[in-house]
Amino acid sequence: MGAVLTLGDKRELIPMIQTGTGMEYSLTTSIKKLSVNNKPTIGLLQGHGEPPVNAFPQLMQQLMILYNVEPYTLTDTAAIPRHYTALMMIDPKDTIPSSQLSRLDDYLAASGNLFVAYSNLGGDLNQGMLTSNPDIGLKGWLRSKGIVIGEEFIIDANCLPIGVQEQNGPFMMTRQVQFPYFPVASTFGEHPVSQGIESMILPLVSTVTYQGDTTFKATGLAFSSENTGLRPAPAYFDINYQWTATDFTLGSQPLAMAIEGTIGNNPGAKIVVAGNGNFITNGEGQQQQQVNPDNINFAANAIDWLADDTGLVELRTRAVTSRPLDAVEDSTRNMLKYGNVFIPILAILLYGFIRRQQYLRKKQQWLQGNF
């Protein structure tokens, strides 16, 4: 069972009707696509080692519903076209000249908004080496806006496990190992960008804090858990290291930030910054991999907030994507596990013992003729 929506000579198809909150989002976005004549245009910045448009199929599938997304290469002299409602800078790796950063300043001062996903840290997981990425000029430019990207790796007890290949006799086995350098953010600020987001995976991420004045309103968007630590770069890691509570002595740390305020003649300038550059990147060719849905929802929400208040944020993130159990101590976990096994058995034995005692009392009464 499907649906066809028509408006004049335009048609939109919903190939399958399914119950649940996802249907509400599909219906509303289809109506929006039919009714919007001129889609806002989003610029995807290129020219500094950023991934191309085809490296983001999941994100583009979300954005293309309501926006036109175009690659745009910054230059030293040409002004950024004003028809870009917002710009995305995702995972730049090469130096950005100060003259091009000035073009960004001019764009923000006029009427533009900016989404930045930048990896200050990186490393070679196969070699067990974690390093700082070379300074490309972006950190200093963000600092001029009050946004500071940290120099240390976040480690989090609430993290994503990774598969480790091990030789077991003649066979290669994969063992799942907790890897605190891949934090799973499950705490979010009160903001349209993070509304409805439940779980984001941010590998090799650094902190994002606001240290400016009251010129801007700053809001933390995503946070690590209360069991967090920091590791300076460069560093080696041992995949078989036994992590303990002493490694996670810090509280929750901000991993993404939104600011809004006045830049030049733009009283409503907005910037969203995430402390990881590839958390929404699928990759290219045969190396493409699926990205956590809430990572994509976060970026799509950010573009909605920066470019156009479409009213779809609540619908996009209403469906449940993650409901992890609360973290508990090993002793508590073992108590619950063995309690679930033995308590029902003991309850049955106790019930049987009580019934047997009742039967024996009745039998004694029968033998004595006391019915």
Map out the domains of the chain as residue ranges. Answer: 19-316, 331-371
Mean per-residue pLDDT pooled into runs of 10, the chain (371 residues) = 88 78 74 80 94 94 88 92 94 95 94 94 85 92 94 92 78 84 93 89 94 91 94 85 91 95 90 94 86 92 82 57 63 85 92 90 79 58
Q: What is the reported pLDDT for 235?
A: 82
Q: What is the reported pLDDT for 89?
A: 97
What tokens does 13 get?
């198809």
What type of residue sits at position 169?
G
Q: What is the reported pLDDT for 319?
A: 55
Q: What is the reported pLDDT for 242?
A: 87
The CATH number that domain 19-316 falls under is 3.40.50
pTM for the structure as a whole: 0.79
Q: What is the reported pLDDT for 227?
A: 93
For 43, phi then psi, to 5°, come to -100, 130
Q: Give the sheet arrangement for strand 129-132, strand by strand.
A: 121-124, 129-132, 235-236
Q: Under the phi-then-psi rule, with left for phi > 0, alpha for psi from -120 to 50, and beta for the rest, what region is 163?
A: beta
Running DSSP on this structure, what letter comes out for residue 134?
P
Q: What is the reported pLDDT for 20?
A: 60
Torsion angle, alpha carbons of 291, 296, 299, 302, to 10: -160
Collapse the DSSP code of 17 into the 3-class scheme (helix H, G, I; strand E, B; otherwise coil) and give the result.
coil
Q: Which helix (H) or strand (E) holds 102?
A: helix 98-110
- How far is CA 315 from each of CA 44, 199, 235, 246, rounded to the nearest angstrom? 25, 17, 42, 41
Smallest Cα–Cα separation from 174: which of 184, 185, 163? 163
Q: If you search the block for the tokens 């956590």, which residue do you land on?
A: 292
